[in-house]
Chain A
Amino acid sequence: EAQVTQNPRYLITVTGKKLTVTCSQNMNHEYMSWYRQDPGLGLRQIYYSMNVEVTDKGDVPEGYKVSRKEKRNFPLILESPSPNQTSLYFCASSRQDRVTYNEQFFGPGTRLTVL
């Protein structure tokens, strides 16, 4: 089954304790992205990657890191989480084809609470 998986789905942590949210897709997509969703603000892009070893900042990259060592994986790293990073996080992937209208496939989401 074609899918994007994220782990963990729920996480409660404390300020300053480093954490990683994993994201993996099995569709051989070139493009992967991380979003956070907050009430009244909608989905905002954190980082994206157009292919292996290529990453770029989105709209709200501060406090986050990513890496793209393999095509299928795109982990999100919070080196020193703070309470303002409490949010619902989505990973997404799509083909990288500028000709067609690309559908982004989203993972199920990770609900993070930072105390």
Chain B
Amino acid sequence: RKEVEQDPGPFNVPEGATVAFNCTYSNSASQSFFWYRQDCRKEPKLLMSVYSSGNEDGRFTAQLNRASQYISLLIRDSKLSDSATYLCVARGNTDKLIFGTGTRLQVFP
């Protein structure tokens, strides 16, 4: 079983839609969680960190459920520019980041 698992998608949604991605992690010792965004053939870039209480940044909301060991990302009012691959990342009590394989989002007009 992979340490961090994501639905690969693709998720095809129209502009303005709300879309949610889930990610599960297997290591209960994982301490920090992140969502990174990666455009095709480009480097990953941090979208947001995920805090225990949940956090929001504009149209993006991240939630962490430690009991069920999953992280979610909600995107409201999707834009064409949101089309990308979203990587779920967990950091354990070592200094290693474990990346999921990513969920691809395609927003169409």
Binding site for B on A (CB under 8 A): 31, 33, 35, 40-45, 48, 50, 58-59, 88, 90, 96, 101-104, 106-109
Asked whether B43 is an interface residue with its Cβ less than 8 Å from the other chain, the reply is: yes
CB distance from B84 to the nearest CB of A (A): 14
- Residues of B contacting A35 in the complex (Cβ-Cβ under 8 angstroms): 99
Which of B12-20, B44-52, B65-73, B74-82 lies on the face that meets chain A? Answer: B44-52
Count of chain A to chain B residue pairs whose CB atoms are closer than 8 Å in the complex: 44
Residue of B at shortest CB range from A42? B101
6 interchain pairs, CB-CB under 8 A: A42-B101, A50-B95, A59-B96, A90-B44, A104-B97, A108-B42
| Closest chain B residue, CB of each to CB of A98 | B95
On whether the beta carbons of A108 and B95 are closer than 8 Å, the reply is no
A45 close to B100 (CB less than 8 A): no
- The CA-CA distance from A48 to B97 in the complex, in Å, is 10
Is B61 on the interface with A (CB-CB < 8 A)?
no
Is there an interface contact between A43 and B95, defined as CB atoms closer than 8 Å?
Answer: no
| A90-B43, A101-B49, A106-B43 known; A43 vs B96 contact (CB < 8 Å) | no
Give every chain B residue within 8 A of A59 (Cβ-Cβ). 96
Q: Is the CB of B99 within 8 A of A43?
A: yes
CB-nearest residue of chain A to B8: A40
Which residue, of A44, A58, A103, has the highest number of chain B Cβ atoms within 10 A? Answer: A103
